[in-house]
Structures are given as structure tokens and as C-alpha cells.
Structure 1
Amino acid sequence: MSNKLVLVDGNSVIYRAFFALPLLNNDKGVYTNAVYGFTNMLLKILEDEKPTHMLVAFDAGKTTFRHETYQEYKGGRQKTPPELSEQIPLLKEVLDAFQISHYQLDLYEADDIIGTLSRQAQENDWNVTVISGDKDLLQLVSDNVTVNLTRKGISDIEPYTPSFMQEKMAISPEQIIDLKALMGDSSDNIPGVPGVGEKTATKLLKQFETVDNVYDHLHDVSGKKLKEKLENHKDDAFMSKKLVIIDRDSPIDVTLADMTYSGYPQADVSAIFKDLGFQSLLGRIDGEAEDDSEGSAELSPIDYTIAYEVTESMLGDEAALVLEMLEENYHYGNIEGVGVVNASNAYFIPTETAINSDAFKAWAADSSQSKIVFDAKKTLVALLNQGIHVKGITFDMLLTSYLLNPAENNHDIPAIAHRMGETDVLYDEEVYGKGAKMKLPEQDALSEHVARKTSLLFQLKDKMEQQLKTNEQLELLKELEMPLALILGEMEHAGVRVDTDRLHEMDEDLKQRLSELEKEIHELAGEEFNLNSPKQLGPVLFEKLGLPVIKKTKTGYSTAADVLEQLQNEHEIIPKLLLYRQLGKLQSTYLAGLLRVVDKDSHKIHTRFNQALTQTGRLSSIEPNLQNIPIRLEEGRKIRRAFVPSEQDWIMFAADYSQIELRVLAHIANDDKLVEAFTNDLDIHTQTAMDVFHVDREDVTAHMRRQAKAVNFGIVYGISDFGLSQSLGITRKEAKQFIERYFESYPDVKGYMDDIVQEAKHQGYVTTIMKRRRYLPEITSRNFNRRSFAERTAMNTPIQGSAADIIKKAMIDLNEKLKDEKLEARMLLQVHDELILEAPKQEIEQLKEIVPAIMENTVDLNVPLKVDYEYGESWFDAK
């Protein structure tokens, strides 16, 4: 088999990927759009090219040997956005995982490395494919070397061979140098001959073949003006030629043998894909590494009893309790068995035996009997479903592990025990299998596994509590997270009523609206076609209607959302298409999705709150995710009309914190101006606009306020000039000046950000006002991308995490107050900074007093907390 070398222009491809894809970050907050695009292309290269040797070349720095010839070479280029430069070290990690060589050389460019290696490979009669977005590399094309140029982003590639170049450009590969010498290259600041474009340069080369011949026969050049331009800029032309020539003999210290490629290790690639959040790419790799976790052969035997009868003596004053459930949705899942372990004995109790036992029910409901559980919320809900209200829970292993290791994504008992140094650990997957192969084993294997997990829970409680004490977090568990877990459990069990008739009505209305929109779009297009088919939509927009082509894909014209958004002002069909898509998603994802999870008997939705998921401490919800209902569209907001009280003559009551994160920032940074603004109840965005634009209050325009608002919220997330320029549609220079003026106006905010980063570097973590920790091991990383992310996280976590702590404490305080006042009102949902309750209409006046008072006074800050509330017949009316 002949050798096949693939050379990739790393800087060119990642740059194009960055601007071709939306600015995305993964669940850790790391920007990944450019790496994702590059990796997507990489997988395709490996599949199509099947290289035996491969290398990705990078530029080493801003200064090259070409600057000796022309100091302004590549001058005028905008500084690389930090969101892109942060991703280059990350890309190199991906290449390392693939075991693909990468290389850079001081004073030389990626082009020179590629040129030198392609020459060496050509001399050895290898086939070479070069991948880049830079036309300069076309000078390398030969019978052995094909240059694949990316067009419109990176997904669309055009292969250049000598014959294709002649057909498409009417020049040979060698003439690319002369072409660039004449026409210049604005992207590299190569002057060329002013006024000579590609068309004129090609015409000259057709007649004279080279730049040298052009000047040797200048008298034969037709056109007086052109002749003058050539004459006046002869030095520029020859200097440009020198600049554009790729050095094919650069002093590289890598050899072709160093680039041998024999495939990638699946386990390493799978691991980095998971780390980066590239879930969609996992299916494209050949397979995953075999699970090398230890089997059960080395496990010590466990002494336990299968109990077909429950007695008081089996339970005791303190015992660990595990309800084994394979179904993730415990609202509808079955309890497969019950584990109980105390200081003396371990038991496995079949489910029917436990839930029908008076002794078990009495023990579960006795608050004086201490229960050590894995997940208090899940335990509470599962037993409530059986008519048993468990009380006396004194330890929650899941929440403890979450507080100790918030970055971990596996908090089940075996994984926690393994992290705590236990060796007698058997993972659930080894007992039940996973995915479609998951099933219950024989009772002996099931009972032993449940007893083993329950024993680990009992054994590890003291050790884990001691770790919390060391971290000063025991109060956070006992006073905040565990009480909240029980409140959330009762909220989940109670559920929220949904008017299914109204949902069906909305569903029909949206279908009707979609049908009308489809008709309007067909009329504007002058023909009928499938709106959901890009293959049919593309030709209508870009051929029939003649709209400018923004991006092409392998299968034709791109009609992606970002493309349509750029065309909004080009034709009235575009806004209608965008609306059609938004409403279509609303109908299929949200309306149909909600109807799928409504209990048919109670007409309630029992969303599940994730309390141990986000590293900031914020709650999230699933099945359904009520935090994702789109409310920017009026039709999206109307979905909230279907959420109604569960009793006659009751109302929905919603209260939310106003600008809580900015108030927390004012408290933590203790910035005089911010504190004063909130203390005097000023509009903070107007105040910021006044400070940044140096204008009086009456001179602040709506546009100024909008920009100030973007900066206020962006600062909380460590926004860069590039990020702000994208969100506001301004230049990076303007965005940079905006941020600088903000920090001049609020110097203590800048001081806080600098100090918190240093603090994180010193101790390895940051904390919220309630001692919640977020560990940042990458704050001192040599990897720029990881370090930058950690720095942004250090700035944001104390703010966002403290806001999460505050609303959690408010929920506990409010729950206690409602009970003290013997009110029937109950909390139903928590969405972002908002609490939703339902209550009898006669309790409204008390709620108007109680709810804001509790929420605003739950913690003592340097600035007042502010709560807005509304109420009405539905959640929509309460907003």
C-alpha cells in the first residue's frame, strides 16, 4: 500500500471553524465551537483520506522571517478573539488523544512546514493531501499533491489538482505566486500592485506567464493606466512575490517517519469527547474501550439476612435505608427491594414485605428514629407514593458527595465509596447491565448487592460528615440542602395541575397558525414545497428568489437558522420562515412534550428537581424541564396559561427576585456606587449607562440602557470584548472601550475580580456566602484555555452560587412560615429566581405580606433584596 500523507493547516481551519459555528460552550463553560468544528472535519478526513501519515501544522507566533522583508506583513489584522485563542491548546489535546502529530516552528508559518513536508513526501513518491482555507497553498499542487480548500466555513471542501486549477482559475500551481504578487492579499497585508485584481492579474499571466515576463515586456501591456500602475509599483510586486513564496526547505526537526498514523485509541478519544461535551461525535468513533472496572471475583463476602418479616429490633435508633430503584423516574418506578443496615446487622427486605409491614411503616414515620439515606428526596417521594411519609432523615449521602465533589457527575453509592477508598465495591452496571440490556438479576444477586450498598452507606456516614466539618460545610448540608431536599420532595409529589384541554386547544391553534404561515410562505415563494426540507427550501430561496448565498453544504444550500437570520432584511419570506420554525419547535417539543408527561388521572405534572447537578448550586428540572419553556415568544409565554391551581377557588402566586445576581455582586465587591444605586432603588442599567456614557439621567436613551444592561450581566460572567461585540452588534474596539469605562466607573468590581482569581489560585477553590465550594484545579493550568475558563468561573461562581443559596434558604424560611401561620398555600415550582405557589383566594392578602418579607430578609446583605410578585388564575396571569 502506498503511503498517504495528510497535512492540515491548523490555524486556518480552526479560524474558519470558529467563525462558521455559533459561539458555543460546554456544560463546564469552556468555549468549544472551533474545536468541535475542527474535530468534526477531522473525523471526516480520517474516514475519507485513510492516511498512513498525518500532521497538523500551526503558526508559532506573530513574527516570521517574512517580517525582515516587510515589517507590515500581516499588519492590520485584528487581534485573535480570546474565545478562539483559548481553544487552540484544547485542539492540541484532542489531536494528542487521536495520536495525530502536531508541530510549529519559531519564525516560520504553518504554510512553510506543510510546504517542506509535502516536498519531502513528493520526492518519496507519496500521495499528499493538504487541507486549508488559504489559497497561498495552491502553489504546492502537483500530480502527487492535492490541496483541499475549505469554502464557506469548513464543511464544504474543493479539491485542487493541476487540471482543476487550469479549468477553474486558468493558471498553473506555480503561477499562484505570480498571481498573488500582482493582486496582493489584504488578509496578509501583502500590497501587490494597487488596482490590479484577480481578473486583471490572471489576464496578464495568461499573456506573459510570470511577473518577471510582465516587467520584461511592459511595453506590450495594453492599457495606459494599467501600465502606469505596474511601472509605479514594480518594487511592491517583486516584494509581494518574495513574501508569498512558501519556504519548502524550512529547518524543521520532524521527519515523515514521525508522522506515522495507524488509527486512534478509542478509549482516549471517547474520554476527551465526553470531557468536552461532544456527545453527538461519540457515535462517530469506532467504539469505546472495554470497561476495565474490577469484577466481583475479588469482593469480600457480606453477612446479611433476607427478611420476610420486619420486627422493631431489626430497625433500631439509627439505620441506613436504601430503596433500590432501577427506573430513573422514581415517580413511576418500582422499588425492587429495601436495604436496612444498623450497627449490628444487615437486611434485605422484599418490597411487598416492607411496605405492608406495620413495624416498617411506624419506624419510617417516626422522626426520633434516625435514617441514613442515599437520596432523601427520592426516598421521600418513593415512600409517599406508597402512602408512607418518611421522617427522621439525618444524613443524605448524595448531597454530601455533591457538596464535597461538585464537579463529579457520578454520585451513586459504589462510585462514592470507591472515591472514599473502599475496595469492596460492585457497580450497578455489573449487576444490572446497562441501556437496553438492563435487567434484574436473580434474587440472591439482587439482595446481596442492595445489602452491600446499604452497608457502605452506613459505614461512610461519619467519615463523610467529618470531611464536611473540615470544609466548614456541615451547616450547609444540615441547614440548607437537606431541609430543601424534603421540601422539593413534597413539591414533586404534589405536582402542578395542568389544564390539558387548554394544552390541546393551544396545540390545535398552533397547528392552525403553522398551516396559515405555510400558505403565506408558499404564496411569497410562488410555489408549494416542503418547508422542512432544506433540499427544497434552498433552491427556492437562492435560485428562484435570488437571495445572496451565505453558506453551502455538501447537499446544497445551507438554510440553517444563523443563515436565515443574516437574510432577515433581504425578503419578507425570511421572517415568516423563522417564525414558522420557532412555532414548529414550540408545538412539537413543548406542547406535545408536556402532554406526554401529564398524569392521565390527576392531570398533574411531577417535574423532577435536580439538586445535585450544577456546580453553582442552582436547581434544574427535568421531565419536563420547566426552566426551558421559551418565554420570549408570546406563544411560548401562553403555555404558562395551562399551569393552573389544583383546587377550586385557588390562585397561582409567583414571586421573583429582581436582579439578584447584580445585587450579590454589589454585596461581594462592596462597590460604593453599586451599593448606593441599589440602596436608593435606582434603575441599575440606567445608572450604569449614566456612569459609562457620562450623561445625565434624562439623557440616557433606550439604546444606551440596553447596552448598559448587556455589560452589567456580561460582567457577571467575565465577558470579553469579543463576546460583548457579538451580543451588541458593535466592533470589538467599541466593546473594549465599553468594558474599560465600566471598570473605571465601578473600580471595586474590577478589584473583586482580580482578588477572587488570586484567591482561587492560592486555595484552589472559591466559595459562596454559605460556604458552598467550587474547586478550580485548572486555575494554575499551563493550558491557556482551561486557565481562562477557571478564571471566569472564579469570578462568576461566588455570585451565581450565592444567588442560588439565597433562593434555597428563602424556600426553607417560607415553607416554615406557611406552616407556622397554618396557611394552605403551598410551593409548587422553583424556576430560575422565581417561586410559584398555589393558594386559596382568601389567603392572598397574607401572601402579599409574607412572601416578599421572607424572601427579602432571608439573608443580610449590604444591599436590599427586592422581590416582585403577581397572582392570577394561571401561572401566565401571575407574571
Structure 2
Amino acid sequence: MKNKLVLIDGNSILYRAFFALPLLTNSKGVYTNAVYGFAQMLLKVVDEENPSHILVAFDASSKTFRHEKYEDYKGGRQKTPPELSEQIPYVHELLDAFKIPRYELELYEADDIIGTLSKQAEEGGWEVKIISGDKDLLQLVSDHVTLHFTRRGISEIDAYDPKAVEEEYGINTSQLIDMMGLMGDPSDNIPGIPGVGEKTAIKLLKQFGTLENVMNSLDEVSGKKLKENLETHRDLAFISKELVTIDRDSPIEISLQDITFQERDHEAIVRLFSDLEFKTLLKRFDHQNEDTEPFEEDVAFTTVRNITDDILVDETALIVEVVNDNYHDADILGIALVNKTGNYFISTTDAFASSTFVNWLEDESKQKWTFDAKRAEVALGWKGIRLRGLTFDVLIAAYLLNTIEGRHDIAEVANRENLHFVQSDEQVYGKGAKRKVPKQAIVAEHLVRKAKAVYELNSILSEKLTENEQTELLHELEMPLSHVLAKMELRGIRVNGERLKEMGGELEKRLSSIEQEVYKLAGVEFNLNSPKQLGEVLFEKLNLPVIKKTKTGYSTSADVLEKLESQHEIIPYILMYRQLGKLYSTYIEGLLKVINEQTGKIHTSFNQVLTQTGRLSSTEPNLQNIPIRLEEGRKIREAFVPSQPDWVIFAADYSQIELRVLAHIAKDEKLIQAFKDNMDIHTKTAMDVFHVHADEVTALMRRHAKAVNFGIIYGISDYGLSQSLGITRKEAGEFIERYLQSYPGVKQYMDEIVKKAKQDGYVSTLLHRRRYLPNIKSRNFNLRSFAERTAMNTPIQGSAADIIKKAMIEMEQRLQEEKLKTNMLIQVHDELIFEAPKDEIETLKIIVPEVMENTIALEVPLKVDYSYGPTWYDAK
């Protein structure tokens, strides 16, 4: 088989991917858009080209041998956005997982590496494909070398062979460096001849052949001004040609034999794609496990039929097994106990038939240790059993000790502590569509092994929590919260299905109306939900400019349509159609599907061990993400109603809690005083940054100040702020600088927290929640800068999360103490939602702010706003 070499211009493709896709992050806050685009390109190239040899070339540094010849080479280029820089290590990890060699050479550019290797391959008669968004590489094109030029983004590619070059430019590939010498290249600050553009350069080369011939034949050049410029700036032309000429004999220390395409590391790819949350790409690699192999080490246990008090002792590891991801009203496969008397398995039939056992489960005085306490409490709660006495949760403990680990399966936790006798649930049951329940004997042994792991991990993890000063965090915050969340999940929130259906009908009418308007503007009827048909209408019938293409045709993604919004009045209608369509499918149809038939309520699942900052999340359904930007989205909350007639929904939320936490932690006098004076903090920031009085602050000034206030919390860069506000990076950078000058305490906090993180290896919240930062001392600038940004943000965001968690526990206690009928239903970020009888509203107006505002003492007052009404929508 003929050798085929693929050479990828790493820097060029990375930049293209970054700017082609909107800024994306995973749940950990890691920017991922450039990595995602790069991964898409890599898969496309590998699948379509099937190379025998492959390499990705990168620039080693900003300084090259060309700077010795021309000091201003590439001068004026903007600094790489940190949001891109932070993704480069992940691209390297991606390439390593694919086992694709990457190479860089000090003082040389990626172009030189590609040029040298393509020459060697060409001389051997190999076929060479170069992937780049840089047309400088066209000079390498030959009968053996093709340039695949990424014209827009990374999906629209033009292939250039010698014929294609000549068709586009009217000159051959050997003349391209002469053309660039004459016209220069502003993007690389290569001067060329003033007044000479591409057309003039090509015209001269068609007449004279080479740059040297042009300069030797100035008398024959027509046009006085052109002749003068050529004569005056001839040195610039020759140095420009030298600068653009790729060095095809660079001193690389890698050979063609070193870059053979190898079998990729499947597990490493799955691990990386899982970590970065590339769900679509992951589907191509993540295959389900086949039938489970038996586990070797024996664990003796007894299957108990007649349950007696002698095995139901204090300090028992308890496993209540529910396999379903959604554990509400799911089947319980069995129960396992491990304690000082032995190891036991109990079938659900025997367990629930035994009043002795049920009484023990509900006995608060009997300490029980488990894995995922909330899951067990909710599963038993649906069976009418109130699980009490849960004092240790291995899942929460493991999460508190190491939030970096995205996976806290019991087998993973046990393995980390050198306990290797338990398998993961996936190994035993499979996952997804392949999940199945094996014979009871296998289930019984698996549950006992899990309970044994819990029993042994209790002391191991407890000791580590004590060392970390996190015992109180587990026992006083997270464990009580787990119980509160279980009650909220079991309680659920009533949803008016008929109102949802009415809203669905209203949305259908709106969608139909928009659809007709689109047809009218398009002059033709088509399937508006078909990207292919929509692309043909927009870019062929209406002749709108093509932004980018996909494998199947024109891209009509949201970012493409947003760029076209001012080009044609049809675009806003299409965008609105999509937004309303998503509302209909996700929040009308989606919510109707998950209303429990028996209770008439939605029972969500709160996850308290997912985010690295400690924030809660909500799934099945996600009640924290009901859209509020569109009025149609906000109105979906009309369907959320109290469970009793004549009750109301009562909502209370913290006002600017993260900025208040920042003021407290940073000890910035201006910020503290502003909050103490109950000022609008965004107006105050605008006053300080723009040096104006309160009555001079415009709406635009306040908007910019608000963006910086919240941006500072998340470590925003000049690039990020410029994208958010639609201003230049220079303006954004100046804005951030003025902010930090105005609030020196914030600047000092940022410097000191990074210094402390480097010293300790982690940062902590006010309640001692830790986030470890393994890359805080990395020599890699990109990894280190992301860790520094995380160090600044986590104490603020994590402390805010801790505060509302503590408030939830205290609020539940206070409602019981006051003997109120009011129920806490859901938590949405900084907001708590209750249902309450109307005659308890006056009491709630007093106790809810009282509890929430005094849950923790800060240098600034916590402020809680509340509202209430017949629906969640009205409680705003």
C-alpha cells in the first residue's frame, strides 16, 4: 500500500476551532470549544484519509529565526486569549490519546516542520495531505502534496493541488512566494511593497515571471507610482519573500519512521471525552461492557430470612440497592448489612415483611453508614419507610475529600483506599440499554461487598476528614442537608398538567404563525426543522453569505444565524422559532412526561456531589434551568402550583450573595461600605470606575459595571469581557484595570489567594470545603493560569453555595419548631421555593429573611428578597 502522510498545522487549526465555535465550558468551568473543534477535525481527517503516517506540528514560541532578519515580524499580533491558551494542554492530551505524534522546534514555525517533512515524503514518492487554515502553505503544493485549506471554521475545506492553485491565482505554486513578497501579509506584519495588492502582484508575475525579474525590468513596468514604489521599497520585497518562504530543510530531530499512525488508546479517549463532557463524540467510543466476569476474592455472608435483633446492631453499614438512575419509586433489588456481628443479605420481600427490621431502619438511635444516603432514604420513603439514623455517607465523604475526581462509584472510592474486593455497578449490571439484573446470588454478593467497603471506609475516610478539618462540614452540613433534600424530593412540587397543555397549545399557535411568516419571507414552503432545506433557502434562494459548511451542506447553527441576523428579516423569525420549539419540546412535553401519575407532582433529584464548588444541581428533570429570558419561558412557571387549595408559592432569594462574599473575603473597604449603605452595587462600581456621581451613571455604564462585577468572580479575562460587552479587548482590559484600582482589596485578595493556593495546593470556602489545584505550580502557563483563576473563584462561589445549604437546614428546622404547615420545595441557585397556607405568609415574611440572613456572619449584611403568589411565576 502506498504511504500517505497527513501533516496538520496545529496552531492554525486550533485558532480556527476556537473562533469558529462559541465559548463552551464543561460543568467544571473548563473551556472546551477549541478542543471540541480540534477533536472533530481529527476524527474527520483520520476517518476520511486513513493515513499511514501522521503528525501535528506546533509553533515552539513567538520568537523564530525570522525575527533576526526582520525584528517586527508578526509584530502587533494580539496576545492569545487565555480562554484558548488554557485549552492547549487538553489538545496535547487529545493527540496523545489518539497516539498522534506532535512536534515543535525552537526558533522554527510549524510551517517549517511541515515543509521539511512534506519534502522528505515527496522525495520518497509518498502522497502528502496538509491540513491548515494558512494559505502560506500553498507554496508546498505539488503533484504529490495537497493542501486542505479550512476556509471557514474547520468544516468547510477547499483542496488545493497545482491545478487548483493556478485556477485561483493564475500563477503556479513556485510563484506564490514572489506574490507574497510583492504584496506582503498584514496578518504576519510582512511589509511587501506599499500599494501592491494581490491583483497587482499577480499581474506583475504574469508579465515578468519572478520577483527578481520584476525588479530587473522596472523600465517596462507601467504606472509611475507603482514603478516608484517598487524602486523605493525593493529591499522590503526581497526581505518579505525571504520571510514567507518556508524552510524545507529545517533541523528537525524526527523522521518519517517516527510518525507512523498507531492504534489509538480507546480508554484514554473515552476518559478525556468524559472529562470534557463531549457527549456526542463519546457515543462513538464508549461501548457498553459485555457480560460481567466473576469476581475472584470470596466474601462470606449469610442470607437472612428470619430477621432478629441480634444482627441489627449500632454502627451497621447498610446498602439499599436501587439500580435505576432515577431512584424515585424504583424497584429495590435487595438490602445488605455489615457490622461487628457479620455480613448479611436480605431480600426485599423478607425485609419489608419484618416489623423488627423496619423498626430498626426507622430507629434514630441506631447508627447506620451507607453509600448515597439520600438515594437510600428516598427509595425507602416511597415504600412508606422513614430511614433514620444515617450518620456517615461514604459518597459525600469521598466527594468532600477530593472534588477533582468526577467519578465516585463505590468501587472507585474503595480502590483509591487500596480496598480491591468490590466491583463497580457497571461491571455487575452493565449500563444504559444493556443494563440487566443478574441472578439474586450475584446481586447478594455484590451488595455485601459494597456494604463491607462502606464498613471499612468509614474509619479511613473519617480520619482524613479530621485531618482536613472537614468533619463538621460532613456531619453539620452535608449529612443534614442530604436528609432535607430527601424530604424535598419525596415531597415533590405540584404541576398543573392542564395549564402546561394550554401553554403548549399557545406555543403551537405561535410556532405556526412564525412558520407562515418565514414561508412568506422565503417565498416558498419547506421543512423549517430540516437544516438541509433551511440552508438551501437561506444560501441559495435568498443568497445570504455562507458562514460555514458541514458534511451535509450549509451550517444553520445558532451562532451562524446570529451572525446573519442583520442581513435579512427572516433570520429573527427563525431564531425565535427555534427558541420556542425548544421550550415546547423540553419544558412542555418534557415536564408533562415526568409528572408522577399517583402524586400529580414532579419529583426531581438533587445532586450534592457533582460540582467542584459545592453547588447543588438538579436532574430528571432539571428544575434549576427553567428558562427565564423569554417571557414564554418564564410563563412555564405558571404551571408550578401549591399542592393545597388556597395555598401560595413563596420564593426567597439572596441578593448578590457572591459579591457580598467577595466583599467579606477580600475585606475591601469600599465594597463593604457600599453593601452596608444598601447601595446598588453595580451603580456604585460604575461611579468608582468612571469617576462620576450616582445621577450621572447611565444604563450602559451600569451594564458594563455589572459585567465586570460578576466577571471578576469568575476570573474573566479581557477577551471574555470584550465578547460579553461587544467592546475591544483593549477597552475591556482598561476597564478591568480601573476596577482593580478602584477596589484594591479585591486585587490584594486575588494575589494572596493564588499565593496561598501555591503554598497549600488547594483553596477553601468559609466552611472548609476544599478544592485541590494540582496544576497551580505547573510550568505550563496554560494549566497554571486556569488553576489560578479557579483559586480566585472557588472560595467565593463555594462559600455562597455553603451558605444557602446551611440556610436550607436551618429553615427546615425552623419550620418544624414553629409547627408550620409550610413546605420547602426546591432550591434554584440562590433561591428557595416554598408552598404555604395563606395564613402563614405573615410569619414567613419574618422568619425566612431572619433565618437566611443570619445563617452565617459576614462583614457585610446578607440580604434576602421575597415574593409570593398563586404560582411560581407570580412569586417573583
* Paired residue secondary structure (1:151): strand
With over 3 angstroms needed to count, the CA separation of the structure-2 counterparts of 1:221 and 1:720, relative to structure 1, is: same
Report deviation, 1:296.
Answer: 4.5
Whole-Å separation in 2 of the counterparts to 1:800 and 1:307: 48
TM-score scaled by length of structure 1: 0.97
Partner of 1:149: 149
Look up the match of 1:620. Answer: 617
Aligned to 2:56: 56
Q: 2:405 aligns with which of 397, 404, 408?
A: 408
- Whether 1:312 aligns to 2:309 is yes
Establish whether residue 493 from structure 1 lines up as the match of residue 480 from structure 2.
Answer: no
Percentage identity across paired residues of the two chains? 63
Which shifted more, 750-759 or 26-35?
26-35
- Distance change >3 Å, CA 444–CA 877, structure 1 → 2: same
| 1:840 counterpart = 2:837 | yes
Compute the displacement of 1:632 (Å). Answer: 0.5
**Counterpart of 2:195 in 1: which secondary structure?**
coil
Report the equivalent of 2:525.
Answer: 528
Deviations 1:434-487 (CA, angstroms, capped at 9, x unpaired): 333322222222222222222222233223222211211111111111111111
> TM-score, normalization: structure 2?
0.97
Separation (CA, whole Å) in 2 of partners of 1:731 and 1:292: 57
Alignment correspondent of 1:271: 271
Cα distance in 1 between the residues matched to 2:542 and 2:409? 57
Alpha carbons of structure 1 residues 96 and 433: separation in structure 2 relative to 1, 3 Å: closer
Structure 1 residues 239 and 319, CA, compared in 2 at 3 Å: closer, same or farther? Answer: closer
Distance 1:232 1:75 in 2: 23
Written as runs of structure 1 = structure 2, the 5 A alignment for 1:541-556 is 541-556=538-553
When residues 541 and 776 of structure 1 are mapped into structure 2, their CA distance, relative to the original with a 3 A threshold, is same
Other-structure match for 1:797 = 794
Gaps of 5+ in 1: none
* Counterpart residue type for residue 547 of structure 1: L
Tell me if 1:298 matches 2:274: no
CA shift, 1:421, in A, is: 1.9
1:800 positional shift: 0.7
Runs (5+) with no aligned partner, structure 2: none
Match of 2:766 among 749, 769, 776: 769
Q: What secondary structure sits across from 2:324 in the alignment?
A: coil
- 1:650-679, CA deviations, whole angstroms, 9 ceiling, x for partnerless residues? 000000000000000001111111101111
Residues in 1 aligned to 2:418 and 2:291: alpha-carbon distance in whole angstroms? 18
Of the three residues 598, 601, 606, the one matched with 2:598 is 601
CA distance in 2 between counterparts of 1:623 and 1:23 reads: 26
What does residue 69 of structure 1 align with?
Answer: 69
1:501-516 to 2 correspondences below 5 Å: 501-516=498-513
Instruction: Please tell me the residue identity of whatever aligns with 1:408.
Output: E
Is the 1:30–1:785 Cα contact (8 Å) retained in structure 2? no
Return the offset for 1:726: 0.6
After TM superposition, the structure 1 stretch with the greater mean CA deviation from structure 2, 758-767 or 863-872, is 758-767
Structure 1 residue 751 displacement after superposition = 0.9
- In 1, the alpha carbon distance for the partners of 2:809 and 2:313 equals 29
1:346-425 aligned within 5 A: 346-425=343-422
Question: 2:803: which partner in 1?
Answer: 806
Q: Are 2:84 and 1:93 equivalent residues in the alignment?
A: no
Q: Please tell me whether residue 821 in structure 1 is matched to residue 818 in structure 2.
A: yes
- Two-structure CA RMSD over aligned residues (Å): 1.8
1:583 is aligned to 580
3-state secondary structure, aligned to 1:778: coil
Where do 1:22-421 residues align within 5 Å?
Answer: 22-285=22-285, 296-302=294-300, 304-421=301-418
Structure 1 contact 296–426 (Cα < 8 Å) conserved: no
- Partner secondary structure for residue 80 of structure 1: coil
Q: Distance in 1 between matches of 2:550 and 2:458?
A: 56
Q: 2:484–2:809: 8 Å Cα contact kept in structure 1?
A: yes
Q: After alignment, is 860-869 or 388-397 more displaced?
A: 388-397
C-alpha separation between the residues in 2 aligned to 1:142 and 1:411?
54
The answer as to whether partners of 1:113 and 1:250 remain within 8 angstroms in 2 is yes
Structure-2 change in CA distance of 1:806 and 1:23 (3 Å) = same
Corresponding residue pairs, total: 876
What whole-Å deviation, never above 9, does each CA across 1:405-449 have from its counterpart, x for those lacking one?
Answer: 222233233332222221322332333233333222222222222
Alpha-carbon offset, residue 258 of structure 1: 1.8
Structure 1 residues 554, 452: CA separation in 2 closer, same or farther (over 3 Å shift)? closer
Partner SS state of residue 191, structure 2: coil
Report the Cα offset of residue 203 of structure 1: 2.1
CA distance in 2, matches of 1:292, 1:862: 58
Please tell me the residue identity of whatever aligns with 2:480: P
Query: Equivalents in 2 of 1:59, 1:317: separation in Å?
Result: 64
Aligned mates of 2:295, 2:369 — CA distance in 1: 29
Provide Cα deviations, 1:157-199, integer angstroms capped at 9, x if missing partner: 1111111112222110001111112221111111222222212
Distance in 2, matches of 1:601 and 1:297, equals: 41
Offset from partner CA, 1:811-868 (integer Å, 9 cap, x none):
1111111111111001000011000000100001000111011100111000000000
Equivalent AA in structure 2 for residue 683 of structure 1: D
**Distance in 2 between the 1:90 and 1:366 partners?**
50
Q: Do the aligned partners of residues 575 and 87 (structure 1) sit closer, same or farther apart at CA in structure 2, a change above 3 Å counting?
A: same
1:728 aligns with 2:742: no
Confirm or deny: 8 A CA contact 1:150 1:156 kept in the other structure: yes
Assess if the C-alpha contact under 8 Å between 2:821 and 2:836 holds in 1. yes
Q: Which letter does structure 1 place at the counterpart of 2:77? A: R
Shift of 1:222: 3.2
Deviates more, 1:722-731 or 1:777-786: 777-786
Query: Which residue in the other structure is 2:4 paired with?
Result: 4
- Please state how far the C-alpha of 1:60 moved relative to its aligned partner: 1.9
CA–CA distance in 2 between the matches of 1:458 and 1:34?
Answer: 45
The code of the aligned residue for 2:218 comes to L
How far 1:290 sits from its partner (Å)?
8.3
Structure 2: which amino acid aligns with 1:17? Answer: A
Equivalent residue for 1:572, pick from 564, 569, 573: 569
Deviates more, 1:70-79 or 1:419-428: 419-428
Provide the C-alpha distance between the structure 2 equivalents of 1:672 and 1:434, rounded to a whole number of angstroms: 54
